[in-house]
Amino acid sequence: MLNLINVTKLYQQKVVLNDMSFNFKQQRYCIVGPNGSGKTTLLMLAAGIEKPDSGAVLYDDVAVYLDEIKKDIGVSSDRIVLPQFLTGKQLLEFHCSQHQCPYPHEYIEKLNFNVQLTTLVSALSLGNLKKISLLLAISHHPSYLLLDEPTTGLDKQSRLWLLDFLSEYSGQLIVTSHEECFVNNSDFHQLNIVELAEK
């Protein structure tokens, strides 16, 4: 499970997270807070994509930067820029070879992404960019799934499938969202809310 210990993160002298300690002991969390409060930043630190200025990011007492942890994390965020010169299919094939996992035919079908597979990432619509980002996060069935605003931009059918999928997900799930279904905990049992304050 994720554990943040005295984590501080600054961008150009501005403190975004200040000496934050939080042990994510439960299976499911939703991080909420006003725009700019640091939700995406927290997720980037949890994924080991960005480094804190001080403090530690651990999973079951192991630092997030170690390969054994990194390969067991799935992350989706609009802040992560995907290679523009590849198609979704090429990205997924590369991802699956790196993680030694099967090609995610079923998830592609459920997210209705088949016809977009041969489109370059640079030419994908925002909703379809979200889909390829989610496919990359879930394909290898990571123990830790970190999703930044996962439903934003998805069409109705894909959104419903994703919510269903996430409500059954067996690994640790940490999402950021402004969506009622997460925030009000209506569709998710035992979804714990972590609230970040306005900066």
Q: Would you tell me which residues interact with ligand ATP (CB under 6 A)?
A: 11-12, 16, 33, 35-41
Q: Taking the complex as a whole, how short is the minimal distance between the CB of residue 51 and ligand ATP, in angstroms?
A: 12
Q: Which are the contacts of 74, defined by CB distance < 8 A and separation ≥ 6? A: 136, 137, 138, 139, 140, 141, 142, 144, 145, 146
Q: Taking the complex as a whole, how short is the minimal distance between the CB of residue 153 and ligand ATP, in angstroms?
A: 13
For ligand ATP, give the closer residue by CB, 32 or 136. Answer: 32
Task: Yes or no: say if 59 and 142 are a contact pair by the CB < 8 Å rule.
Answer: no
For ligand ATP, give the closer residue by CB, 31 or 91. Answer: 31
Helices (H), the chain: 39-46, 67-70, 88-99, 105-110, 126-138, 156-167, 180-183
For ligand ATP, give the closer residue by CB, 12 or 100. Answer: 12
Which run of H or of E encompasses 21?
strand 14-23
Task: Report CA dihedral (92, 93, 97, 102) to the nearest 10 degrees.
Answer: 80
For ligand ATP, give the closer residue by CB, 77 or 87. Answer: 77
Tell me the CB-side half-sphere exposure of residue 28, using CA atoms within 13 A: 15
Q: Taking the complex as a whole, how short is the minimal distance between the CB of residue 118 and ligand ATP, in angstroms?
A: 31
Q: Which amino acid is at 25?
A: K
Q: Taking the complex as a whole, how short is the minimal distance between the CB of residue 138 and ligand ATP, in angstroms?
A: 21
For ligand ATP, give the closer residue by CB, 35 or 186. Answer: 35
Q: Which are the contacts of 67, defined by CB distance < 8 A and separation ≥ 6? A: none
Q: Taking the complex as a whole, how short is the minimal distance between the CB of residue 12 and ligand ATP, in angstroms?
A: 6
